[in-house]
Every structure is written in structure tokens, then in C-alpha cells.
Structure 1
Amino acid sequence: MRGSGVTRGGWAAWRHGLVGLGLALLAGGVHADEVPSFAEVKAAYRPSDLPVLDRQGRPLATLRVDERARRLGWVALEDMSPALLSALVHSEDRRFWEHSGVDWSALARSAWRNLFNQRTQGGSTLTMQLAGLLDQELARPRGGRSVGQKLGQMGTAQVIDARWRKADVLEAYLNLVPLRGELVGVNAATQTLFGKHVSGLDAQEAAVLAALVRAPNASAERVATRACELLGSLAGATVATQRGTSASSPVKPPLDLGEQRCRGLPTLTANALARKGVPALGEQLAPHAARLAWRQAQATPTTTPPAALRTTLDADVQRLALSALREQLTALRQREVDDGAVVVLDNTSGAVLAWVGSIGQGAGAPAVDAVQARRQPGSTLKPFVYGLAFERHLLTPASLLHDEPTQLGTGGAGLYLPQNYNKRYQGWVSARVALASSLNIPAVRVGAMLGPEAMFERFNRLGLALSHTAGFHGHALALGTAEVTLADLTNAYRTLANHGRWAPWQLLAPPAARRAPAPYTVMPAAVAWLVADILADNTARALTFGFDSPLVTRGWAAVKTGTSKDMRDNWCIGFTDRYTVGVWVGNANGAPMRHVSGVTGAAPVWRTLVQALHARTPSRAPRSPAGVVTWPLPVAGGEVQPTALLAGTEPRHHLPNAQVKASAHREAFGIRSPVDGSVFALDPDIPPRVQRILLEGAAGEWWLDGKRLGRSTPAGWPWAPWPGHHVLELRDESGQRVLAQVRFEVRGAVVRATARR
């Protein structure tokens, strides 16, 4: 070489000497067993975005679980764009397919240029760069590698080249290389920057990615310039490059782009580098369920993080639920309804088959998981109130309840005046009709006889996890004023479907499934069957809903609707012999809906799902268990109606048909007066003989403060009040079983007696 004092032969000798020196230094410095295999590297790879799968392994969503870097799924070399492979090899390591991990010629040229302060030329091969990606100690620090690190990198590269296939080296490198900001690997880079899969990259996009390898955080102008230069170099590729893309190599040379190679490249680059926070490609069917499943998975001890998260969801059922909810909310948009949620449970296993937290785009609050949001359930709690009363033998489905305006004490906070939804009253109705037709006042009467504490305890046994206390909610508990989640409420109805036995719902598929609490019995199977039988009786609910409503299905189904105060929440929960389906519609911000009830709001979605789930196999009614009897009861009109009752609650006497109506008052249930929690103040200026408290209620024995007063009469029992706190009980004819109980206070008489002294 003229001017340098080094001949061609001298240069070759110097180069071979350098090679020999490098080999000598590398000998014994790197052990082959310290270098991982390609299979080990691929197995240890963990995407930052975790695929969430359904029960059959079908994708449901992609969930970001690592905020430190954005890595998407591993991409095989054959699934990458040939243009990307050509651009990368041409840009970073043109002799990649020829050298043995270290390109000694390139190293020598780099050293020579650096020695004479010529334009710096890197000598690291793709294999050497991969070594730095696999071993943090070999990674390039900001101040550059030390001699020892460089030699270690070269030694590791030679081991990799000896043990790995060339294609594996290229595949691993492209999946591990940092490209821009938090983006690691070509999969994350292409989907974020270009919104497409790696296989779809064209020549310009491939050149931009190859330029980012060299300078990941460079400006858009510099990246575009470098990409344009690379396209020009590719268009006039040398013979050596052609050898690197021969038949033995998967890389194919790109088309000659000529003068058109850089047209639009600056704009493409600027737009790509401006994109931020772009989600991974793919359908996001269940984002809320995915986040919940990940939280549950994190709470479950595991040795290695999962490569994918398997759930119990069914992609087909999930799509069906999402579609049905979107269609219904679109129809309700003019009635000021924006949000909704759906849960579908498998009765036997508790597996969640569908979990729709919102409809996504178009929802009032897409990020809010309405399945887990706490809201007032309205009348959907009534079945459990009646079930507890049946269980305690306080009434039967045939018992008559008075549906008329009433008032109940609230323990010193005033009077509670429940009303029916339609502001109409039916008079005497059976408990069966009262529950099926969702009449409010009879339900409150039943709840008042049970007491808030008993209802509160039963609801929590059903997994509803009510907040506050029973006294805080009072008698309004029977009408669903406490807040619950759709998931827990749907699972409570699943308890009815499972013969009174409660078990938790399950979202994670084994082996990642969380350890569930032990199942337990909440109510007798006979009681659960009796409630379900009423909820499936279309004739009994016709009083409110008519004979043709969205609650009617082809097969057997037990269902209940509910609407909270001021039309803020609308529910429809029901079950078949295989599935329990819960639907909520409303607004995430709590705004009231306009003219939307359970039948017009949530019920159409519920019916669509039930009909679709049983399209091939209709649901069948469950057989009545032990403890249920059928009793012939006379009804108005001279007919006898077979009625299901719990064994031991059969009427003692048959009444002639003509006496059915006349006996309604005696068959009524509970104490009507005084109201629980009432406070009476006696007037000292009024003669005591005319101051009486009228005790009114069903047939039975009156007991006051543990002492018998006598039998109740249709006209009531006038009692001369006495100061203090009192407990009034209505007992059965034997005087042993308490049918109802109220507490009240009398004030004023003591003051007058003191004055007379």
C-alpha cells in the first residue's frame, strides 16, 4: 500500500498474525457449556405482552405485563420479510453466511481505519452482537467495551457459530435486538411503528428498521438518510452480497429500486417514529377478563412465568355475549344508556365462559370492568329473601300476602314506605305470584319478618360480600339497596341451580387456577328447587310481565329481573340446567336511564344468550328433590291447583272453595301493626281508656314481652299501652313457633304518674 509503508504481503501477514493472537487469547477463555443453545434462548424468551387464551387455546387478548421493555411474541425466521433479512445482513454483516462468528477481515479493516483516524468502521458481526445480547457482561457499555470484554464477545461468538445454525443466529438476533426506545425485537418494532406483522414489511420499512439497529434513538431525518443510503447500496449489491443470498441462504436480493427507492421515505420514517403506545395487533375480545386473570395468576405461586395465560373463557361464547350486548346498547342509546356487562358461568364447574366488562369503543367508560363494579341489584335479591322464609317455614308458596301501601319503622330514622314498581297494588296474592311478578311490598313484608340481620347473613353466605351492616340497610335490604357485583350475584344464582350449594366461580384454567375456597351448603336442595320452580313459572309472573316477554325461552329457565332506585341499574339474572347468565345495563357514571326496565334493558341480552347456548340441546327442568311435596289447594272459581310445598308446611285443613276468599285475611302472613321500631307517645290530657294500640296481623297467638295476650281477631286486638320497650310476637296456634316479631316503645305515661305524686 503506497504511502503507508505496508505492502500487500505485509498486510496479509499482519492480518494472520492478528488472527493467531486472537485465537490464542480466546483459547480457554470461554467454555462451550456456558453458552446457551438456541432452544434454551428461545424457551427463556418472555414477551412483555402476554397472550391470553381461551379454554381451547384460541387467542382472546394481549396483555402488557412488563413495563420495562416492549417485547412481543417470538417470530420464526421463515415468518419474517425477506426484505428485512436482506437489509439487516447487508447493513450489519455482509459476510455473515461465510465467517465463523468473527469476521477477522472486518476486524482488521476496522483496526486499520481507527489506527489512521479514518472513518470508523465497526467490526462486530451479527453473531458477536448476539453474544452481547445474551450475556449482560458482554453488552456494550456507554464508554465502550474493554479488551477483555471484546475478546470474551469474540470467543462466545465463535462458540455460538460452532453450535448454532446460521439461520438460528439471525432469528435470535432479530427477536432480541433493541430498536427504538422500549421496543425490543422486530415483532414489537414493526407492529408499533408500522402497524403490521413482520412478514409484511416492504423494502423501505425494512431499511428503516435496519437503520434503527445502527442508531436506535437517532432523529427521524438521520434514520431516513441512513435508510436511503442502505437502499442505494442494496440496489447495487456486490458479488459478495450475492453469495450471501445464494440457494444455501434464506435471504433473497431485493428488486432494484432505482431512483424511486427513497421517494416518500422521510414521511414514512417520521410517521413511524411518531407512533407511540400502539397496542399489539390482534382481536381484544376480553381485556377486562385478561387483566383479572393476570392478577389471579400473579397471586398463585409458580416456578416460571407462563408463556401464555390459559383461561376458562370460550371465545365463541365471548363473541356472542359481546355482540348481543353491543346490539342492545345501540338500540338503547336514545334512552341514555351507554354501558353494560355480561357473565356466563358453567353451572357444574363454575368456569367463566364469557366475561364482558364493557363493549369497548362507544361505551361511557371502556376501561371500567362493570362485571366487578358494585351497584344496587334491585329485585334480583328477592328470591333469596323468599327462600329463607320458606326454609324457616314462615310461609309457603301458597301463603297469601297483602300487596297494599304500608310503612315500616327504621329504628328511629323515620318510616320506610315501599312502593311497587308500577305504583299499582294487587291486594291478596300468593307468595308464588308475589315473587314471580316481583311485587315490592310483599317482599318487604317477608323481609321484615325475617329481619335485616337474617337477610344480611344469608346474602353474605351467598358470596355477595355486602358492606356496612344489616342495621345500616334495614328493611330495604329485601329490595336490593346494598351494592353487589355482577360476578358475585350471577354466582349466587348458580347456587340455586346447584341445589343450594355454593362454590366459587373460576376464571383461570388449570394448572394456573387459584386454590378455591371449599364449597358449602347455603340452603336445602328442596328450598333451592322451590325458588327455581317459581322463577321459571311464566303463568305466575304474567301479572307483571305478561305471557310473552323476553323472560320466556324455548326450554326451561329460571330468571329474575331487577331495577335499582331512579333507573340507575338494570339487571337480568337466570339459569338453565347447564348455564347461569347475568346481564347488567346502565351507565358507569351512575346517571339514570330513561324508561328502561329489566324487561326492556337487560332481559333481551339474557334471552339471546340463553337461546344460543341451548340452540342444539334445549334446557330441561330439574327433578324435584326429597323434601318437596305437591299439595292440592283450592282456588277461586271452584278449581284445585297442585302447588309445590316443602314437606311439613302443608295446610292442616282443606277449605271449601267458597271460603278461600273469606279466609285470605286469616291466611295472611305477619304483623301489620304496630310497625317494627315504632315509638308511641301517650297524651296526659286524653283519658287512658280511649288510648289504645291496635295489634293487627295474621291468625295466631299474640304474645307481649313473653306473656300470652290471646288469639288474634280479624278486627285486631286493642291493647292498653304501658310505658317502656316492648316485644310483640305472633305465634302459631300451639304458641311454640314465632311467626313474626316487632319491637316498639311507649313514652309519656311515666311522666303523668310522677306528676300525680
Structure 2
Amino acid sequence: MVATVRRSGWLRGGRRGAAAAVLAWVCAQAAHALPSFDEVKGSFRPSDTVLRSREGEELQRLRTDASVRRGQWVALADVSPALREALVRSEDQRFYAHSGVDWHAVSAAAWANLWHQRTRGASTITMQLAGLLDDDWRAGPGGRTLAQKVGQGVAAQRLEQSWRKDQILEAYLNLVPFRGEIVGLDALSRSLFGKAAQGLDAREAAIAAALVRAPNARAEQVARRACTVLQALQPQGAGQSGSARQGMPPSAARSEVQANPQSVCAGLDAYTAAMLQRRAWDASAGVAPHFMRYLLRTLRAQPAGRAAAQEQGTAVPVPVPTPAPLPTELRSSLRAGLQRFAVQTLTQQLRELQGRGVEDGAVLVLDNASGEVLAWVGSSGTLSQAAEVDGVQALRQPGSTLKPFLYAQALAENRLTAASLLDDAPTAIATPGGLYVPQNYDRRFRGWVSVRTALAASLNVPAVRTLVLVSPDAFHQQLRTLGLPLRESGGYYGYSLALGSPEVSLLQLTQAYRTLALGGRTGPLRLQPAAKAPQAASLQRVLDGRAAFIVGDILSDGNARAPTFGTDSVLATRFWTAVKTGTSKDMRDNWALGWSQRYTVGVWVGNASGAAMHEVSGSSGAAPIWAALMGYLHAHEPSRAPAPPPGLRRVAVRFAGPGEPAPEPARAEWFIAGTEQAVFAIDKGACSEDGERTRGQKGLKHSTPMPCGPAAQATARITAPAPGSIIALDPDIPPARQRLQLHAAGPGSARLQWRLDGKPLGRGARLSWLPWPGRHVLQLADAQGRVLDELRFEVRGAGVRAGP
């Protein structure tokens, strides 16, 4: 070998020049400006984002970086003394003595390599930190090159010159990879041991130190290494370690370590295996997971305007191609106490309803003036089999909760007044698909009622009659203006639009009710606290303010809702509120929405799967939650009725009928100026030449002519069902709830006889019949068996056949 070198003297000189060039390049690379400790700490980003309430309390923690698992930055003073000593003894015993490079370890490693012996290696904690801070010095698949090793040593010495020892150790503990995706001490402590870093004992500290050396080793290898670390932590008699000489705090773990090395590691194998399989740190924890996800999606969609979003709290997304990093903490508009109370109240109510097939619910609370979201509960959590589904955004059928907007439109268009009379009686409306026969929730009809009673008591037939006046297409357009983007056209939904057949979300519906609270105006929702209160001029008018006031006055009238809910229902509050409940087809969705002077509260109860509930009505499902939330909000805050806007008049009215009792008692009623009148009477209509008439208000005609004059007084007639009706049975509704009501009017009603398909069916003016499929002939006969009236109708669908 020596001869070869001498034969190529010029080569030896060339190699020296090349080595010098490499060293010069390495030193230049390491000489570039290293980051300061404050820069490293400031650029540290946890893998989780924390959501805080408007008061600053932590409400939710959510993992937002799927590539790595980092916790919060942990100060060295908050690290377990056992771990600090275990790490130094395991990785760098002369950490407090060297200046970045441990030359004793370097010489020992060189000597061991010369004799092909295994050794610990010469990499110090400072050198490892340099590799974590600069990718140039990180080991590749085949280890570090000579240039990388030299550069890493130079960078370590420069770190020692500008950083303190405690800063180096603190940064290392927060940046070092431990196992798999876990990086940093906080993530390790919470994931594997389920505690903060300051609570690690000697055994846990030894496992953590062993993972630094071999992050992805098998459990038995980690346990053996941890046992070695535990043994090294035993008391050293009068002698002190280098770390103690440098002022390291004495380890609290020393008292836990016994003198016998065998007892130190007893059970460590099983304990290590259990800890390495554990993942105690959930990806999400808190009381507002659905709200936080919605806020994050909103911010990701508008990175260009994120600064404005942080200041204004707007929820209007502005999509751009490349989103910027999100902040590690987000301040929300939520009230911490209200959010926790909403979660608790929803959970408690759903526990009480568990026996009725209910497991999901959602709550939304808005500030009327600012539009800030004060509470957002998207799920019942552990009670639900679909806890990740956000009930605030899920599309569901709103039922009767659309009626306030329908009546408001009819009032604004001067088609009706709050005192106008509507006939709550069986009716059939001809449509292109056949006859539409609406029914009330309780299958009862109340005759002539005012608009005030029809809305407050949530009667279905008067609502459908009102939609006939307004038209489905016009009402569909009004709903879209209110922020309810229905998927289909008004013609698609038809007259069922009055009863809530489309699908909307609780978020959209509560915002629409906020429009009523604001007198017909609307503005954007805010997910973060607004820097300043929005100006009234910034709100957009989408509904006549006078009509919105009258609707609110009706929905706050406990006497008007008494026919359906009674005088002492859960909807009655000791302060001013306006509220409306709703139940969708087959009790699949239950709603309660309403507002006070300052707040709008929306509640949905049902099942995310779409399964039907059992015996759950508006007053027993969502309404108790709504009432509890309103009580919490106004425990120390008054709520007064709004002042009437210009253009309204309050007039005393009375109701009368020709030779009949008044349908409702006299009262004072609100009118849009120009529509007021003092007396409302039932107009029976005039007879035509053939002795027939059509009764009701304009556009609310019966499907068949009604007899009048002497014929009406002498002959009884079938009033329900209408001739040619097609009745479709719903297989999802219990048969007992699908009885067909047969009604007759005329003299001698108590002695009337009903026949179906030629067979006796029953007696009296009213009869309830359990239908079965087929085409049927219904006859009405007097006591002597003479047929007075006859009609044909059809029943379609699966049903339960019952005898006559």
C-alpha cells in the first residue's frame, strides 16, 4: 500500500486538495446563519389546532396535520426530571461538559471501528439537534457521509456558541422523533402514557429515552434498552455524575430505583409492550367538534381573506387555489358556558327519549344583531351511532316550521290578514298528479279559524289553503330569498310545500328565523367575534317588516296556540319569545325554532339514519331543549316585545256568522295599513240557478259543488272524502294512524247510515274507517235505507284489511 502511494505522489497531493475542498465546503455550509432558539420555538407548529371561546377558554382540540403527530411546545422546566436525566445518560453523558462535539466519544468510536467493534457512536445531543434543524445534516438510507458528519459537528459547535445548554436540551426534546409519526415529548407523553410530560416516572422516562435511540424497534428491544437506562439511574454513592456537577436538578426518580438491578426491570417487558400499543391521545377532544370543522373549512376556503376573517368573523367562503397554513389557535364566537349547557341539555333530553327511538339532535344559537354563532352542537355524541354527522348542516324535512314564512308572504301581498277566516275542514285540491287531500296532525278539523289561530296552532289544512292563494312557485322563490336553497322547483313540491316537504338544514332554517327576529332583514353569520357591531344599514331586507312583526306577534301568543298545545305548554316562557314547532312525515324530524329580543335558537331532534321516532311531538321532543336554552340565555337578561314598525294599525275586531256562534271571540288585531276591518263574518255564498254553491274565500273552492237553498235543508250530503279521491297508504305509518274520516252534513245526521261497496259500514254524521286498497263506492242513506248521496274513490298502496 505504501508503495502504491509513493508511485502516485501527484495523486496523494490531489486527494489532499480534494479533502481540503470538501472541508471548506462543509464549513461554508455550516457557517450559514443558524436559527436562534426563539426562531425555532416560534416556528414550531403542533399537529393540533385549538379552538377557544370568545372568553378565551379551550373548547375543542382537533388534529389538522395528518403527516405528523406533534403536541404543544414543552418548556424544560415542565419536563420530568427523571426524563431529563435518563435522556442525558442514554444519549450524551458529557452533554454539560463538551462544546458541541464529544471528542472522547469520537476517539472511542474511531478506535472501535479500527478493531471492528460495536460502539455507541459519537453523536451528541447538540449534533442531533443540528441534524433536526438542517436537512443537509440528516442521515440518509445509508447513514451520514463524511461531509455530513463534519458539517454536523461544525454546526453543533456553532449552536453551542449561540445557545444555552438548557435551550439546546429543550429544543431537542420538542423536535426529536420518537416512534412512528410521534414527534416531540408532549405527543409521546400524551399518546403512550396518557399524561403530561412533567408527570413521567423513571420507568416511563427510560422507555422514552430508549425510543430516541431506536424509534421503531420491537417492544422487546426497547424494553432491554430501557432496562439499561433504569440501571444507569441507580444511586452512584458519593460520586456525582457530570450532569449533577453542572447543576442539573437531582432526579426524583432515584428514590424509585432499587439497588438490585434485577428488581429494577421486573415487569418492564410487558409494560413496554402495552405502552407501545397504546394511543391515548385522541385526534379530537372537546365540546364543539362540528363547529370547529365548519370553521376550519371556511378559513381554508378563504386564505386570501383570512386576516379579514379573523377580524370580522365572516362565514362567507372565498375559494382560492392554494390555502395558507392555519393558525394553531382559533378564537371563536362561541360562549363557553352556553356551549357546555347546550351539550348537557341535549344529552339529557335524548336520554329521556331513548325509549322512543331517538338518538340524535342538534342545537344552534345565534345573536340576532351581530349574527354571531353562540352555540353549535351537531350531535348527541356517545348516544349516537353517527356522531360524526353534523346535525346542524344535515338536510332534513322542516315540517310546519315553514308556515311562518308562508303566512308572512300572504300578509305582505295583502291576500290575508291576521283576522281573516280560513276553513279548517276536509278538502281535496286538484293537481296534475291527482287530488291532494291534506290532513291535520291530530286528524281533527276545527271549522272556521282565523289566520292567527291557524298559524299559532299549526293547522295544516288552512296552511294549504293559504298556499293556494300564494302559489307554490311564488312561495318557493320567497324561501330561496330567505336563504333556503331548495333543490327542486315549486311545481315539484306542489302544495306539500306548505307542510315542509323539501329538505333544509338547521343552519339555514335558524338563520331564516333570525330574519323574522330582525323584522325581515338578514345578514351574514359570524363564526368569530366581530371587531365591531354591524351597522343596521348593512342588513339586507328580504321580507316585509310589517308582515314579519305580525307573524312574530302570532307566534308569541299563548292563547292562539292553545287549541293544539294547551295554555300551559313548554313553549310558554316568562319573558317575550316567539316560537314554532314542526314534525316531518312519520315523525322522522322534530323541530323547535324561535327567537327572543336578542337571540334566535334552533333545535332539531331525530335520527341521523332517518329512522322514525315513536310518539314524539313538537312539544315533547325539541321544544323542552329550546325552552331550557331560552331560560339559560335570559336568566339575568330581559326580553321585551319588539316595537311595531311604521305602517301597522291595531284595530278591535269581532267575528260573526249568520245565525251561528262567532268562530272566535272579539279581540284587538294588527293590520297592515289599508287592510284593516272591524267585522269578519262567514259568507255562506249565494245559490246558483241549479241550487248549488261554492263556499270559502277566493281561490279556496271546494272540489265539488255544495247544495244550497231548500235542497241543502232537505237532503244530507257527503262532505268528505271528495268524489274521485285517490288515497295513498303509507307503509311507514302505522295503519291505525291512517284512518279515513267520513263526514256528512244535513238534517237527521244522527240517523244517517253509511254503506261501503253495498255493505253497512256505520251510523252518524262522522265515521272513522280503516281503509284497504281498491276502488270503492261510498253511499249515504237515511233511516229508511234510501240513498241520499253517493261517490266513488280509490285507495292505493299496502294496508291492513279490516272488516266493515
Question: Shorter-chain TM-score: which interval?
Answer: 0.7 to 0.9
Deviation at 1:324, TM superposition (A): 0.3
The more displaced of 634-643 and 148-157 is 634-643
Distance 1:590 1:518, change over 3 A: farther
Tell me what 1:711 maps to.
none
Which consecutive residues of structure 2, in runs of 5 or more, have no partner in the other structure?
A: 1-19, 307-323, 687-694, 705-804
Deviation at 1:263, TM superposition (A): 2.2
- 2:556–2:577 Cα contact (<8 Å) kept: yes
Tell me what 1:294 maps to.
296
Deviation at 1:121, TM superposition (A): 2.0
SS in 1 for 2:524: coil
- Is the counterpart of residue 625 in structure 1 residue 645 in structure 2? yes
The more displaced of 78-87 and 253-262 is 253-262
* Alignment partners' CA distance in 1, 2:136 and 2:684: 89
* Alignment partners' CA distance in 1, 2:419 and 2:530: 46
1:672 maps to which of 700, 707, 726: 700
* Alignment partners' CA distance in 1, 2:365 and 2:329: 23
Distance 1:113 1:328, change over 3 A: same
Tell me what 2:797 maps to.
none
Letter in 2 for 1:208: I
Letter in 2 for 1:619: S
- Is the counterpart of residue 475 in structure 1 residue 498 in structure 2? no
2:624 maps to which of 597, 604, 625: 604
SS in 1 for 2:353: helix
* Alignment partners' CA distance in 2, 1:247 and 1:646: 87
- 1:246–1:252 Cα contact (<8 Å) kept: no
* Structure 2 length-normalised TM: 0.77
Tell me what 2:461 maps to.
441
SS in 2 for 1:255: helix
- Is the counterpart of residue 266 in structure 1 residue 269 in structure 2? yes
Deviations 1:701-746 (A, max 9, x none): xxxxxxxxxxxxxxxxxxxxxxxxxxxxxxxxxxxxxxxxxxxxxx
Alignment of structure 1 residues 299-314 onto 2, 5 Å? 299-301=301-303, 302=306, 304-314=325-335
Letter in 2 for 1:47: P
Tell me what 1:329 maps to.
350
The more displaced of 466-475 and 518-527 is 518-527
- 1:297–1:508 Cα contact (<8 Å) kept: no
Deviation at 1:504, TM superposition (A): 2.4
Letter in 1 for 2:546: A
Tell me what 1:104 maps to.
103
Alignment of structure 1 residues 601-750 onto 2, 5 Å? 601-635=621-655, 640-651=666-677, 654-655=678-679, 661-663=681-683, 669-673=697-701
* Alignment partners' CA distance in 2, 1:184 and 1:434: 64
- 2:582–2:591 Cα contact (<8 Å) kept: yes
Deviation at 1:534, TM superposition (A): 0.8
Which consecutive residues of structure 1, in runs of 5 or more, have no partner in the other structure?
A: 1-20, 679-757
Tell me what 2:427 maps to.
406
Tell me what 1:698 maps to.
none
Letter in 2 for 1:291: R
Tell me what 2:721 maps to.
none
SS in 2 for 1:226: helix
Deviation at 1:661, TM superposition (A): 4.9
Count of equivalent residues: 644
SS in 1 for 2:650: strand
- Is the counterpart of residue 390 in structure 1 residue 381 in structure 2? no
Distance 1:628 1:241, change over 3 A: farther
Distance 1:309 1:272, change over 3 A: same
Deviation at 1:305, TM superposition (A): 3.0
Alignment of structure 1 residues 320-469 onto 2, 5 Å? 320-410=341-431, 412-469=432-489
Distance 1:213 1:510, change over 3 A: farther
Deviations 1:406-448 (A, max 9, x none): 11223x2111111000111111111011001100000111011
SS in 2 for 1:245: helix
> Sequence identity, in percent?
49
- 2:63–2:283 Cα contact (<8 Å) kept: no
Tell me what 2:584 maps to.
564
* Alignment partners' CA distance in 2, 1:27 and 1:364: 59
1:590 maps to which of 610, 623, 627: 610
SS in 1 for 2:590: strand
Letter in 1 for 2:486: L
Tell me what 1:148 maps to.
147
Q: Give me the CA root mean square deviation.
A: 2.5
* Alignment partners' CA distance in 1, 2:539 and 2:152: 58
- 1:435–1:534 Cα contact (<8 Å) kept: yes
The more displaced of 313-322 and 561-570 is 313-322
Distance 1:217 1:31, change over 3 A: closer
* Alignment partners' CA distance in 2, 1:22 and 1:324: 73
Deviation at 1:670, TM superposition (A): 3.1
Letter in 1 for 2:413: R
Distance 1:436 1:233, change over 3 A: same
Deviations 1:569-605 (A, max 9, x none): 0000011111111100111111100000010000000
* Alignment partners' CA distance in 2, 1:321 and 1:122: 58
Tell me what 1:541 maps to.
561
Tell me what 1:284 maps to.
286
2:523 maps to which of 478, 499, 503: 503
Deviation at 1:175, TM superposition (A): 1.0
Deviations 1:359-403 (A, max 9, x none): 211213111111111000000000000000000000010100110
Deviation at 1:663, TM superposition (A): 4.6
SS in 2 for 1:50: strand
- Is the counterpart of residue 175 in structure 1 residue 174 in structure 2? yes
Letter in 2 for 1:263: A
- 2:358–2:605 Cα contact (<8 Å) kept: yes
Deviations 1:150-186 (A, max 9, x none): 1211121112111112111111111111111111111
* Alignment partners' CA distance in 2, 1:189 and 1:89: 18
The more displaced of 36-45 and 297-306 is 297-306
Letter in 2 for 1:450: V
Distance 1:247 1:616, change over 3 A: farther
